[in-house]
A and B are shown apart, each in its own frame.
Chain A
């Protein structure tokens, strides 16, 4: 690694970490926060016909740890027959990590489970509310609504609303700072001191924003279409930078660098072992060093009933274009190829269709990011993982009437394009989205979710030809009319939607170390906290999607259990195991990892004498939609009373059947 790796890397870490605020909403005193800076302004900007007093379901507000735990306890108290709280462990700062177990009736052997995990990424607090919403809805609707009832009768649903409680709690602290990291703290700037120069609220406004510092060696200029947004100066186009951009902070350690060694460096959702990157502070000291990670991993290991994992947040495993590998791909230098097996990819594509029906216009992130829970579950546990990003700040404001327009072919096309724009631009902005490290300078594999999204969407765009057309079409106009940066487009959305709390105007400040600077930029959590008006729709849509998942899970059944009389008290017994659900018994990854157990079929011969056939059949290959396995035995008996087939699995049900004599 060359020596200028450090400043670049440092900048990336700091900028990645430091986001900003909530202008008008002061730090909350209570457990829940809603963004309600200016209600009347908001409703005017959106849709004046909408009733102003439509209140947000309190559960879809943001909850601090105590409030979340209280809600969990309340649910357990009120629905003790359906809901139980399980404590997975404690976070590094000592907060309990809770799971809710929802199931109705007797738990028979092999009952499958869906594990839902939210708020793996520290700033995804709304996802916790959504997960809690799902738990409450399931409990409340059980017995009244058909699909919810069926789901809890057949499936165990584990919901972990907040996998990363320490980082989440920063949402309720002053100054407000979008914290996505935890861990021990490392010596990021290699000066022999750990975490001594982190971002700080230097102007005392209660939030940590961005600073643009006038500097003839700066690399940023104002976006010509919107001076609030920054654009990287293009020297080849004869542009010279006028600002340096850095997180709000001081030079506490006197090394002439601002906020370059934050107290926390490690992201919980980079500390899992799959694809883990060593010697990168973001990934932690060693895989599972973060207590949250070990607690979550141990929970998955201890629950062999988990058949499907549903996550919210990046990396997107469902809607993003996946990197695939052949089912029979061979290892290179003994290391397996990295990606989703083709046959698992096909399953995800089918599920993605359902998802899009439930949540139109969902944004996409990168798939297969190293060190994540999502990737660990798939790569190392062989579990199918459905993970989606619920919301991110759009670019450009769309006229509100579109929202109410009935779906048609043409709007579908629009929303597809919209999606592409999202994925394409997710990280190209300067403030809060930045990845200022050029791809080719990055160490191998040193990709975060953002940069992978970039790469993937580039591929997907060129595959579909959308991007190429787009560029060509605009190419002609380029000389006359500069193209707005992504940040400018985001500002356009903010202006149009009235979500003004998401950007703080640049304000002059006398910095004790730097002289006159400007402080402002996108505020903390502006990127991923959905507007209040969209929350109910997201929660309902995602819940709808969850309700549809239970019936897709593999279910092993004894389809046939018959005997043929061969004479001389000899019987040929034939047992057919079938799976009529959509998902196979094991994913292709699961067949590779051998971490999920096979279904086990045995013939209990009773008094009959077993003359031929296996003692136990381990069934791994059982496709969905009619996949079958056939086994025959030869037994000797006067009659077959008491002879039965016994089928057990860990995550796809169990079955038992006496033998029926064929006439």
Chain B
């Protein structure tokens, strides 16, 4: 697996991938691939953790694998929680000189399990570092930048306060959603104080729109339109709450009221066009901290964002007006997306605006359209995963069956009476917040694993450049033509087509240098067979620049015309791969 060129590279640039971690014998055989093995760090993967809990897990990993994890605070959330990015990479080559993958979760506060998936990714690679060549190679030649929770305030509120599956998507900066001059004054109310925000219904015999399902009275169903005078005995009254501000509406101005996944600079649109966008791009400190980090880390070559739910592997564009992505980049997206479909049962690889809905100012559209990085959003979890066998369907009845028999009924609040200030005696009941969008505990680990390993698939595709053995043509009178292949063995190009087209970041450099060597001309060859077809550099032939970089699983053929003799060095310098230097000698 490891190429000879690596060793040469090591020798020359004094980069020491393999020498550093003196892990010692206690590190033994690792864990993941061996039945009966026990992990070095025991973590319960069948539960969710709050923000402090997630950071605590990362701290445990950092302690167990010294030198592999560093972290830095990139800011503070509106609610005062520290935003900490964890850098995971084996010691040796500095992390910021390796190609890196940014992985984050939970930008929507209620979409919690992405946070655990991020931590799982670090844990699984570290646990397997000493036994799996693939894990070792990944952490040796690349870096992970991990932010388990983009929205720690929303996360903790969802976990700790009364919510339903969909609430607490926002951050907690107060917004006057109903324009009455008051902020966050009419949130949902936990009428019975049981910690759940569920549904409200009222019994109104002969005056209602709904009826109870004949087989399962927990299910409220609409009475079909009819001319037979058949009416329902129930009305559905929406989500649990009262009209706190007395404006005639219920739950219309809750905590926050915006969407941090609509605040990113590429194709950003203001709030009246795109709900929740913020007053300008990167308006919230959480988003600005991340953007500042990413602008300062041009080595990021892959991005993954974890959301829930629906079972999707999403890519941009987020809006039709963008047009389409360059073909070369789409080939990379398609390869990874289709592999993802095989790794993630029931997940579909989709285009955001076309197959889901339009999103202006989304995160992964910015990281691609703005930063030129291949980026995915996964929507973790889908109902089919509860019942891969079609004999259990997705109907509400079967969802209740699942809850009754596989969760012992803990996911559903049975309907019970409460007093409501406006509606009088009503009933509240329904599925709890952790049903529907997060996996049940016993399926959580599998969900985390498959998604984390999709990131590994993506990260392993990040560029890896090597320099081939040069060939020499003696042109007489001390002149030599040197032909060199610079190869990228991975699927992701060193410069995406979009980055090249828009001039994002710096072009790749292909250099030659030797004390006994004068470089007279040089350029990129376009034909293997016709050496005269060459795009000659106008200036600085010893430092060739290429905005298009080295395409994925391809090479760039360079020819230099030199005078002189002796040893010389060839070098590739790029933002999204480990720089390579190699020494050769003219014959």
Contact = CB atoms under 8 A, between A and B. Distances in A.
A442 B370 CA distance: 20
B552 interface: no
Interface in A255-287: 255-256, 272-274, 276, 278-279, 285-287
Interface in B311-369: 319-321, 358, 360, 369
A428 B501 CA distance: 30
10 contacts: A192-B507, A273-B270, A286-B281, A297-B279, A297-B280, A301-B279, A334-B321, A593-B271, A594-B271, A648-B181
Nearest to B539: A255
A463 B221 CA distance: 63
Contacts of A592: 272
A616 B246 CA distance: 9
A187 interface: yes
A1 interface: yes
A334 B248 contact: no
A379 B540 CA distance: 47
A335 interface: yes
B61 to A, nearest CB: 33
B273 A334 contact: yes
Given A192-B507, A255-B538, A594-B179, A331 B281 contact: no
Contacts of A333: 319-321
B265 A287 contact: yes
Ranked nearest first, the 3 interchain pairs of A and B with the lowest CB-CB distance are A286-B265, A279-B502, A380-B270
Query: Which of A272, A380, A598 has most B Cβ within 10 Å?
Result: A380
A380 B547 CA distance: 36
B268 interface: yes
A380 B180 CA distance: 20
Given A285-B295, A335-B321, A380-B270, A256 B279 contact: no
B302 interface: no
A287 B282 CA distance: 9
Interface of B: 176, 179-181, 246-248, 265-273, 279-282, 291, 295, 319-321, 358, 360, 369-370, 501-504, 506-507, 509, 538-540, 545, 547
Contacts of A80: none
B137 to A, nearest CB: 29
Contact of A288 (B281, B295, B509): B281
Contacts of B281: 273, 286-288
Contact of B319 (A255, A274, A334, A380): A334
Nearest to A334: B358
Given A190-B547, A287-B280, A600-B181, A279 B504 contact: yes
A606 to B, nearest CB: 16
A361 to B, nearest CB: 37
A593 B319 CA distance: 20
B538 A256 contact: yes
A58 interface: no
Contact of A254 (B266, B267, B540): B540
Interface residues of A, number: 40
A258 to B, nearest CB: 13
Given A192-B509, A255-B539, A615 B246 contact: yes
A1 B501 contact: yes
Nearest to A649: B181
Given A255-B538, A279-B502, A648-B181, A191 B273 contact: no
Contact of B503 (A256, A279, A285, A380): A279
A482 interface: no
Given A190-B547, A278-B370, A288 B503 contact: no
Contacts of A279: 502-504
A615 B247 contact: yes
A294 to B, nearest CB: 8
Contacts of A600: 180-181
Contact of A190 (B180, B279, B358, B507): B507
A294 B288 CA distance: 12
Contacts of B295: 285
B369 A278 contact: yes
A445 to B, nearest CB: 12
A331 B269 CA distance: 12
A642 interface: no
Contact of B280 (A256, A285, A288): A288
A616 B180 contact: yes
B181 A286 contact: no
Contacts of B370: 278, 286
A336 interface: yes
A181 B267 CA distance: 24
Given A285-B295, A288-B281, A615-B247, A273 B268 contact: yes
B272 A593 contact: yes
Nearest to B279: A301
Interface in A393-436: none
Interface in A526-557: none
B179 A597 contact: yes
Given A255-B540, A256-B539, A287-B280, A192 B247 contact: no
A618 interface: yes
A594 B257 CA distance: 15
A519 to B, nearest CB: 25
Given A187-B506, A256-B538, A593-B270, 9 more contacts: A1-B501, A187-B503, A192-B507, A256-B539, A278-B265, A287-B281, A334-B360, A593-B272, A618-B179
A11 to B, nearest CB: 16
Nearest to A614: B248
B273 A335 contact: yes
A618 B177 CA distance: 13
Nearest to B292: A289
A526 B179 CA distance: 49
A425 to B, nearest CB: 33
Interface string A298-337: 0001000000000000000000000000000001011110
Interface in A84-120: none
Contacts of A287: 265, 268, 280-281
Contacts of A1: 501
A294 B181 CA distance: 24
Given A287-B265, A648-B181, A190 B503 contact: yes
A285 B319 CA distance: 21
Interface in A4-53: none
B530 to A, nearest CB: 22
A335 B74 CA distance: 33
A531 B506 CA distance: 45
Contacts of A614: 248
Contacts of B280: 272-273, 287-288, 294, 297, 380
Contacts of B504: 279
Interface in A335-372: 335-336
A254 B321 contact: no
A287 B539 CA distance: 35
A331 to B, nearest CB: 7
A398 B180 CA distance: 57
Query: Which of B268, B279, B319 has most A Cβ within 10 Å?
Result: B279
Contacts of A288: 280-282
A346 B247 CA distance: 35
Contacts of B246: 615
A331 B273 CA distance: 9
B483 to A, nearest CB: 23
Contacts of A335: 269, 273, 319, 321
Interface in A552-597: 592-595, 597
Query: Which of B280, B503, B540 has most A Cβ within 10 Å?
Result: B280
Contacts of B509: 192
Nearest to B505: A187
A273 B279 CA distance: 9
A594 B321 contact: no
B252 to A, nearest CB: 13
A191 B506 CA distance: 8
Nearest to A5: B503
Contacts of A294: 280
A616 B243 CA distance: 14
A192 B506 contact: yes
